[in-house]
Structure 1
Amino acid sequence: MDKFMNLIGGITDFIWGLPMMLLLLGGGLYLTFKLGFFQFRYMPHIISQTFGKILSKSDASEGTLTPFQAATSALASTVGAANIIGVPVAIAFGGPGAIFWMWVVSLIGMAAKYSEVVLGVKYREKNEEGEWVGGPMYYIEKGLGWKPVASFFAFALMLEIVASTMVQSNSLSTTISGAFHISPIITGLLVMVLIGIIVFGGISRIGKITEKFVPFMVGIYIIGSLIVVFANVSAIPSIFALIFEHAFTPIAAAGGFGGAGIAAAIRWGLARGTYSNEAGMGTAPIAHATAKTDHPAKQGFWGVFEVIVDTIIICTMTAIVVLCTGQWEKVPSEQASSMVTMAWGQVFGDQLAGIIMSIALFCFVLSTVVVIIYYGEKQAEYLFGTFFSKVMRFVYVGAIFVGAIGGLKFVWQFLDILLALVILPNIIALLFLGGEVKEITKDYFTRIYKKKNYMEEVQLSQPEQSLEKAE
């Protein structure tokens, strides 16, 4: 058994090394070129249509959730423990320069995230209960005619969610047990009941919860991090100098930091940026397909919004906290996951920092599990119908308790392999359907964007006439 598990571990390490990074990064680059670098050319407009319209209601009648609810639902699955733990690990093994490459791959990944959301909306359909459903399984089947590939994607993701749910709940129960000395059994039962109440309310209840919960938990984490940063504000110029300098030059060992070359900075930066926002992984369009929107490109902008919030804002905040407090040089790489807690401890005290971080991890993991269970249900629905999706809902909720007490760890070993099997068909589909995404994007920017700008120019140049018409 040990030899078999070592073999699985070796296969996983290989797949999630250079091959997967090249696949995700290469796909993002291809789509960036295909779409004419739209995420850079139209970034001000994208921000105005997302951050600028968070409180606005959609005028579209087609859809189940508001655009913001769909975005926060998708964001809930990406903003998790990895934002707090993964970034320090990248710095520990890749040095400060890894953050630069994290930014690069995130900017490129915006094209993949946008593309899959656009396709998710274009090829969505109504299920037996009158709800909008969509995702890679639908655009692979309807857009490319690859029914077997679509079924493979759905089956792999349906199984992957079981393992992922168990891993997430185990991480949560372990954190709470260490901070508050609460039994994993109690934690597992409480979390299972809490999540069950939410997910049995369907996507409408999930959307209502995430639109309030996600901004709250992200806001608390950012405010706490900013307090730490302001307490070390004098170090800010030097840490940005470190990030840009060591993105292209090696950095020597210092204190607990073992040193890193350029290759390590690139490898860990690309990995962190790729994995944190799930661009190209095919999960986000499942949530976005439920949105009330009158044009696929408009909802695609919310996919870009997710990358900005998850990686450019939250991951960057984590990196600055770790760097400005000097924890990256003090803490050995094997203990990198504790860097943020120790950095907060310098300002809030070790005990309070530990409690706050445990609560933050609890919120992040909770929101992630709620949404990925919905993702798993939709795969079961696509494959076997709405009744079986309800059966899988019970399976996923039960997996929360099993994972919390550390059961079926054998299944966890296949998590990364299953995820790779999910990503591969999605990326290939995005490459083949890139032309459709380009046409949809062109339609938006020539028919809607330019018309809107023209009307605004007319109103600015002829304010009196515009006022008379309005009257």
Structure 2
Amino acid sequence: MSFLESLVSVANDYLWNYFLLFLLCGAGIYFTFRLRFVQVRRFGQSCKEVFGKIRFSGKKAGDDGMSSFQSLATAVAAQVGTGNLAGAATAIVMGGPGAIFWMWLSAFFGMATIFAEASLAQAHRTQKDGAVIGGPVYYIKAAFKGRFGRVLAVLFSVFIILALGFMGNMVQANSISSAFATAFGANKLVVGIVIAVLAGFVFIGGIRRIASLTEKIVPFMAVVYILGCAVALAFHAGSIGDAFRQIFVGAFSPTAVLGGACGIGVQKAMRYGVARGLFSNEAGMGSTPHAHALAQVEHPCQQGVVAMMGVFIDTFVVLTLTALVILTSGQYGSRADGIELTQAAFTATFGSFGNSFIAICLLFFAFSTIVGWFFFGQQNIVYLFGKKAVLPYALLVVGFIVLGSLLKLELVWSLADLFNGLMVIPNLLGLLALSGSASRLYRDYARSPLLAKAKKGRQ
């Protein structure tokens, strides 16, 4: 096991400290300029499209797709999960408070990337076995004709199935079991089995049950957690300014915050900020386009505008609140890590209730992510093997959920980082190759009556 950990660690260092650090940020910056700062220019419209169309019981999803809000809810279910609770804590411990700044920066540029992802997924979606289906494999094949495109699409499918369906869901199960063990003394294996059974029930219901669950659970869990964070920050209001100081100063001079012996440099803050930011908001990773491709909209860019709000809510709202609670609680610098540090921060304010609050929130956050990631993996299972392989895939995911609840945190996170990094490469290659197409789609949308109608609706 130690050899595996060392091997994964070396691979992650190479991927995240050098290659992906520049590829992800570079792609985000490129799309920001290519799409003329779409995340700023269309932010108001994004708010209206999302918050004006929240439905707890919309039209039932089916073979013809799902509503725009159901698509976003499914995407956000995957985005807002362990990365916002355990991931934020791990980033702060490993990269210092400055890692949060690099999370923000990567998320800002990532909003342009995810606009391109969602729009292209819409433009290149297709039908298979009578059902609408879409995702990066289809725009990757459109970007690269012939054998190279097919090979790249297959590699992406394999990586996302491993990254999210298996390794990623192990992370979610691991965080839930750890949180319940800390808060209630629960047996990790029992927690893992219960989560696996509940997840299996949702899996067998297909897209209709998945969409129905996410449109109800996502708004509820977000509101509950945001209120809890707001109350915690009210108790430590005097420390909020210093928390922001630690974030901004730590982004460029970690030793000024943590002291000369801290061992954290700017590159380390960037590495963990970008890595945990990707794991949290998934911009550029190629996961959420599977949900956005199924949205029933009149123009591909309509869903691109909606998709941006998923990154904003995930990083600038939920993740930031988690980080501020940790930094203002006085628990940063303790030996706790991962979800235990987040629980310790809330316990410092709410007493023993803090442990329970985070455990319950994490149950909703991580469980919804398990459902979303299963769905993303399923789309690629269908692409590779057809519908006949969905049931074996579901059974394997259920098994990995149980296994993940028992494994140690460091190895699970490292494996998730590795496969997340690998799936980014073919996805971004496809996106960059189709950047001209994304730009043309956006220009067409900007001239269409749909945008004028949206502007009129805001007046």
Question: Normalising by structure 2, what TM-score?
Answer: 0.89
Once residues 153 and 227 of structure 2 are traced to their aligned partners in structure 1, the CA distance between those partners, rounded to angstroms, is 42
Q: 1:337 to 1:258 in 2, by over 3 A?
A: farther
Tell me if 1:434 matches 2:435. yes
2:160 is aligned, of 157, 163, 168, to 157
Tell me if 1:147 matches 2:134. no
SS of structure 1 residue aligned to 2:36: coil
Q: 1:347 to 1:158 in 2, by over 3 A?
A: closer
**Residues 1-400 of structure 1: pairs in structure 2 closer than 5 A:** 2-3=2-3, 5-55=5-55, 63-128=64-129, 130-145=130-145, 146-160=149-163, 161-252=165-256, 258=262, 261-328=265-332, 330-332=333-335, 335=337, 337-349=339-351, 351-400=352-401
Q: Could you tell me how far 1:254 is from its partner in structure 2? A: 5.5
SS of structure 2 residue aligned to 1:132: strand
SS of structure 2 residue aligned to 1:313: helix
Q: Could you tell me how far 1:315 is from its partner in structure 2? A: 0.8
Q: 1:244 to 1:418 in 2, by over 3 A?
A: closer
What do residues 356-410 of structure 1 show as CA deviations (whole Å, max 9, x unaligned)? 1111222222111111111121111101111112321222223223333449x99
What do residues 224-253 of structure 1 show as CA deviations (whole Å, max 9, x unaligned)? 110011112233334334434444445435
Q: 1:118 to 1:43 in 2, by over 3 A?
A: same
Q: Could you tell me how far 1:209 is from its partner in structure 2? A: 0.4
Q: Could you tell me how far 1:319 is from its partner in structure 2? A: 1.7
Once residues 411 and 268 of structure 1 are traced to their aligned partners in structure 2, the CA distance between those partners, rounded to angstroms, is 16
Q: Could you tell me how far 1:183 is from its partner in structure 2? A: 2.6
**Residues 433-452 of structure 1: pairs in structure 2 closer than 5 A:** 433-448=434-449, 451-452=452-453
Once residues 263 and 185 of structure 1 are traced to their aligned partners in structure 2, the CA distance between those partners, rounded to angstroms, is 38
Q: 1:448 to 1:100 in 2, by over 3 A?
A: farther
Once residues 33 and 85 of structure 2 are traced to their aligned partners in structure 1, the CA distance between those partners, rounded to angstroms, is 32
Q: Which amino acid aligns with 1:138?
A: Y
What do residues 295-324 of structure 1 show as CA deviations (whole Å, max 9, x unaligned)? 110111121011011001001111221223
Once residues 413 and 324 of structure 2 are traced to their aligned partners in structure 1, the CA distance between those partners, rounded to angstroms, is 32
Once residues 280 and 370 of structure 1 are traced to their aligned partners in structure 2, the CA distance between those partners, rounded to angstroms, is 20
Once residues 22 and 275 of structure 2 are traced to their aligned partners in structure 1, the CA distance between those partners, rounded to angstroms, is 10
Q: Which amino acid aligns with 1:220?
A: V
What do residues 398-436 of structure 1 show as CA deviations (whole Å, max 9, x unaligned)? 3223333449x9998754333322111000000000111
Q: 1:45 to 1:4 in 2, by over 3 A?
A: closer
SS of structure 1 residue aligned to 2:365: helix
Report if the CA contact (8 A) 1:100-1:244 is conserved: yes
Q: 1:451 to 1:426 in 2, by over 3 A?
A: same
Q: Could you tell me how far 1:3 is from its partner in structure 2? A: 4.1
Q: Which amino acid aligns with 2:80?
A: V
Once residues 441 and 354 of structure 2 are traced to their aligned partners in structure 1, the CA distance between those partners, rounded to angstroms, is 47
Q: Could you tell me how far 1:107 is from its partner in structure 2? A: 0.7
SS of structure 2 residue aligned to 1:431: helix
Question: Normalising by structure 1, what TM-score?
Answer: 0.87
What do residues 136-181 of structure 1 show as CA deviations (whole Å, max 9, x unaligned)? 1111123432122112211222233223333432332233233323
Once residues 243 and 411 of structure 2 are traced to their aligned partners in structure 1, the CA distance between those partners, rounded to angstroms, is 41
SS of structure 1 residue aligned to 2:306: helix
Give the stretch that moved more between structures: 164-173 or 196-205. Answer: 164-173
SS of structure 2 residue aligned to 1:281: coil
Q: Could you tell me how far 1:24 is from its partner in structure 2? A: 0.9
SS of structure 2 residue aligned to 1:126: strand
Once residues 19 and 338 of structure 1 are traced to their aligned partners in structure 2, the CA distance between those partners, rounded to angstroms, is 31
* Bigger Rg over Cα: 1
Give the stretch that moved more between structures: 238-247 or 197-206. Answer: 238-247
What do residues 65-112 of structure 1 show as CA deviations (whole Å, max 9, x unaligned)? 111111111111121122112223333344443333322211101111
Q: 1:217 to 1:142 in 2, by over 3 A?
A: same
Q: Could you tell me how far 1:11 is from its partner in structure 2? A: 1.6
The answer for unaligned runs of 5 or more in structure 2 is: none
Quick one: percent identity of the two aligned structures?
35
Q: 1:231 to 1:120 in 2, by over 3 A?
A: same
Report if the CA contact (8 A) 1:87-1:318 is conserved: yes
Q: Could you tell me how far 1:45 is from its partner in structure 2? A: 2.1
Count of matched residue pairs: 452
Q: Could you tell me how far 1:287 is from its partner in structure 2? A: 1.2
Once residues 104 and 46 of structure 1 are traced to their aligned partners in structure 2, the CA distance between those partners, rounded to angstroms, is 19
Report if the CA contact (8 A) 1:8-1:413 is conserved: yes
Report if the CA contact (8 A) 2:101-2:248 is conserved: yes
Once residues 324 and 2 of structure 1 are traced to their aligned partners in structure 2, the CA distance between those partners, rounded to angstroms, is 35
Q: CA RMSD in A?
A: 3.0
Q: Could you tell me how far 1:285 is from its partner in structure 2? A: 0.6
Report if the CA contact (8 A) 2:80-2:314 is conserved: yes
Report if the CA contact (8 A) 2:183-2:355 is conserved: yes
Q: 1:384 to 1:304 in 2, by over 3 A?
A: same
Once residues 148 and 195 of structure 1 are traced to their aligned partners in structure 2, the CA distance between those partners, rounded to angstroms, is 32
Once residues 440 and 216 of structure 1 are traced to their aligned partners in structure 2, the CA distance between those partners, rounded to angstroms, is 34
The answer for unaligned runs of 5 or more in structure 1 is: 461-471
